[in-house]
Structure 1
Amino acid sequence: MAVIADPHHLRFSKVRLRHALLRALLMPMCSWSELANPSQGYSLVLAVPVKLRELLPANLRFLARQDRVHLEKLYIVLDQPASRELRTFADDMTRRFPELPMQFLHFNHLQTLVLDAIGWGWAYGWLSWCLGLAACQSRYMMIHDLDLLTLTPDFLEKRYRKMRDENLQYLGMEHFIWNGVNLQDRVMPSNQLMVETSFIRQQFQPIDLFSRIVPHRGRWVHFDLTQHMQTCCGKADVLPFAFMDMVHPAQMISHYTALLTKKLPALCAQFAAADPVLPFAC
């Protein structure tokens, strides 16, 4: 937090430079057009690292138990180009869960090359969610985590109804406090964030959803994925989750990516300041 608070700190300058370079690399990776006539339901986008694809059936099994009256599409984004092996995997998932309206999307070769070179879980997540938003034809879309298992049957529909009935552009589960962001900023984390697709694609470009380090209300703030756009325009609210709504092994995917890229010790140190329990899990 001290690094964020002091814009003259050398480490702060390095972090800002690194983010500027990342944004320059990622900007050409995805684009979208405005969505003029969306259908009135909602879709989910689920980012799936190919090396963790065997976890997907567990998530789908719980989604299949949900009340899905207004669910139009489940976009499953794999972080590698399409191949015979991955097509076989997609066919198997479709056969095992025919009740789910799945559509598989893939990184192309250039996206895979750039994202693998970056080797950061947040960048994989950003591109996966943006590819889902670019493909989405429904009015609303929710970012659904691979390691989040929905328990109560109305978890999805309850959030959809609140978005629709209150004409919201963003709906999250809680407010975010981290890296200079405080409760007064009223921004929400990306996990299970539901957005109005047509609004997002009209007001923003994909790179606007990436993390940003910017001055905000007289201080420097490091906004995580999807957070900066929440401060720009649109109506937002929170629908808190109950203890029995879901099971979510937090940071599982992020830690896995960091482990593969040998960044896990640094990641654990980053979270230790906020959660002293985490280093023991690492």
Structure 2
Amino acid sequence: MKGKYSNLLLYKMYQAHRLIRRYQISNLVEWNSTETDQALEPGCTVLLGMCSKLPTLIYANLACLQKAKWDQLKAVYIIVDCQKCDLEIGTEEKVIRSFPDLNISFFYYSEQQSQQAERLKLPYLYAWMSWCIGLKHTNTQSILIHDYDALILSNTVLQQRYQKFQAQQAKVQGIEWYHKNGFRRQDRLVCTFECFLDVAWLRSFSPIELFNNVGKYEERSVDYDITLEAQARSLAPEERTIAELSQSKSDIVHPSQMIHQYTMFRKFPGAALPCYSMILLPLFSFLAGDNTAFKSATLAVYKGKETEGKGSMVWEGVTIGLSQLESHHLHWGLLQSVQALVALEVKPRKDVFDYYQALYDRVGCALTGIQHDFASDKHQQWLTEAKLSSFAALAKCEALSINALSK
């Protein structure tokens, strides 16, 4: 059998499991004819699913989004993955007050939605439900699904993409073709992250029709991600487009799978799971205003070194296993961090170097620079200065210790 599943029995088993899951959640989000038939206004609404267990990430995200705001951006809808009573008091008001130019509205899960999501702890369920709640309330012709773990570093890229999306009269415009779970890039189906979509087209489907599914595509067994089945069954190839970012990906820092991985570690603390995006959590906390984030993370890495293998780190109360962390993950994570810090004009910091030094020590390799093709001279210089400041601080501490001993 071609595609994701190697044999018919396995395919049927996963297909049945997904059908049961779809049945269990089919009534969690619905929209009625009044909502789907309403006249839509020109412009775009950003839909941003917020992880209530990592609330500080919202500030870094919105600070970058505010700089990239364009005239046709009419509103930002933040959909929180819990009931309003479960979000820290004052968070909504503080966020709205901090970013007055973004026309922010908050939406929350109902009791039923919150209980089901927390019981299942499925990352793609959270994503689907949050986006559908936002879509239910949208009154503009277009939406941008903006990931919670994405930092827009270019002030013009969203405007340029939106204008291209409108000019092409496409229904979907992303930044990458989907090429996992049995799909290939040449299928020309669009990944949902950082994706512009046509609202009327999306709401022509019921919410559950946009959810993940197991099926066939061109004789291959596949696992449809959110909106992929709708794209495959209803859109012509020219209605599915991508707008590639700069070659170095310097327009955006997007760890990808950060919330997914965090949710899985909440479900399985310290387990041997993918963790490559988890190492960027301190960056987001720092950009949200926590100047001690990198120092705290460094201590957490060293504190967790006594566990098996490459150890673990505890962050925001969750034990993150580092057993699957490899050197190429660190090269990529270091680049992402320095790209963001340089773009946001943050001066070189020793605590950033110290943190990555601790991680490189955990995987047993040397930190000799940013080992990535997309690293520019400016990025390398930033890290060099951060390294020198770290060594200078160490030398100062050693000198103070020697002086103290000589007295």
- Asked if TM exceeds 0.5, the reply is yes
Q: Is the 8 A contact 2:149 2:255 kept in 1?
A: yes
Residues 1:106 and 2:151 are matched in the alignment: no
Q: Structure 2 vs 1, CA of residues 84 and 237 (structure 1 numbering), >3 Å: closer, same or farther? A: closer
Q: Which amino acid aligns with 2:24?
A: L
Higher relative contact order (CA 8 A, sep 6+): 1
Q: Is the 8 A contact 2:274 2:325 kept in 1?
A: no
Q: In structure 2, what is the Cα distance between the partners aligned to 1:121 and 1:85?
A: 19
Q: In structure 1, what is the Cα distance between the partners aligned to 2:131 and 2:241?
A: 20
2:55 alignment partner, SS class? helix
Q: In structure 1, what is the Cα distance between the partners aligned to 2:273 and 2:228?
A: 20
CA drift of 1:85 comes to 5.1
CA drift of 1:102 comes to 0.5
- Segments of structure 1 that go 5 or more residues without pairing to the other structure are 270-277
Q: Is the 8 A contact 2:3 2:222 kept in 1?
A: no
With the length of structure 1 as denominator, give the TM-score of the two structures: 0.90
**From 139, 142, 145, the counterpart of 2:141:** 139
For 2:263, the equivalent position in structure 1 comes to 257
Q: Which amino acid aligns with 1:4?
A: K
Q: In structure 1, what is the Cα distance between the partners aligned to 2:129 and 2:231?
A: 18
Q: Is the 8 A contact 1:42 1:139 kept in 2?
A: yes
Q: In structure 1, what is the Cα distance between the partners aligned to 2:220 and 2:103?
A: 44
CA drift of 1:279 comes to 2.5
CA drift of 1:87 comes to 5.6
Compare 227-236 and 56-65 and name the one that shifted more. Answer: 227-236
For 1:245, the equivalent position in structure 2 comes to 251
Task: Report matched runs for 1:183-222 at 5 Å.
Answer: 183-202=185-204, 204-222=205-223
Q: Is the 8 A contact 2:44 2:74 kept in 1?
A: yes
Q: Structure 2 vs 1, CA of residues 112 and 265 (structure 1 numbering), >3 Å: closer, same or farther? A: same
Identity %: 25
Compare 28-37 and 104-113 and name the one that shifted more. Answer: 28-37
Q: Which amino acid aligns with 2:100?
A: P
The number of equivalent residue pairs is 273
For 1:274, the equivalent position in structure 2 comes to none
Q: In structure 1, what is the Cα distance between the partners aligned to 2:88 and 2:265?
A: 24
Q: Is the 8 A contact 1:48 1:79 kept in 2?
A: yes
Larger Rg: 2
Q: Is the 8 A contact 2:2 2:219 kept in 1?
A: no
In terms of fraction of residues, the more helix-rich structure is 2
Compare 71-80 and 228-237 and name the one that shifted more. Answer: 228-237
Compare 257-266 and 87-96 and name the one that shifted more. Answer: 257-266
Residues 1:279 and 2:324 are matched in the alignment: yes
CA drift of 1:265 comes to 4.6
For 1:46, the equivalent position in structure 2 comes to 48
Q: Is the 8 A contact 2:22 2:208 kept in 1?
A: yes
Please give the root-mean-square deviation of Cα atoms over the aligned residues, in Å. 2.3
CA drift of 1:183 comes to 2.1
Q: Is the 8 A contact 1:45 1:129 kept in 2?
A: yes
With the length of structure 2 as denominator, give the TM-score of the two structures: 0.63
